[in-house]
Amino acid sequence: MDVWQTFVMTLDTNSIIPLLSQIIIILLKDYNQYSSNQSKKIINILTYLLVDNEDKFANAFEEISSFPDLPEFQKIIEVVNSRKEKITVEQKIKHLIS
C-alpha cells in the first residue's frame, strides 16, 4: 500500500483524473482480505484523493460507482455523493469530451 500511496501522491492531478476510477477499483477489490494496517492505508489514500482533493477530482466523481457500506468509508461516501448531486449537465458533457 505504501507504493500506491507514493504513486497517488506524486502524480500530477491531471494524470490521476483518467485513472481515478481504476485506482479506486483496484484498491477496493480485495479490501476485506487486507490487514487492518493495509485497510487504514487504503482509507488514507482514498481520503487524500476524494476528500482532501475533492475540488481537483470532482468532475471525475460521476464515474465512481460505490463504496463498501462500512463506517470507515462514511466520510468518503458523503463527499462523493454530495459532489455527484452538484454536477451539472454541462459539466458532464465537458468531462465526456475531454
The per-residue pLDDT for 88 is 63
- Any residues with CB less than 8 A from the CB of 38 and at least 6 apart, and which? 1
Residue carrying C-alpha cell 497517488: 8
More confident residue, 95 or 75: 75
Task: Write out pLDDT tens, residues 38-87.
Answer: 999 999 999 999 999 988 887 788 788 789 999 999 999 999 888 877 66
- The model's pTM: 0.81
Q: Which three cell numbers stand for residue 32?
A: 476485506
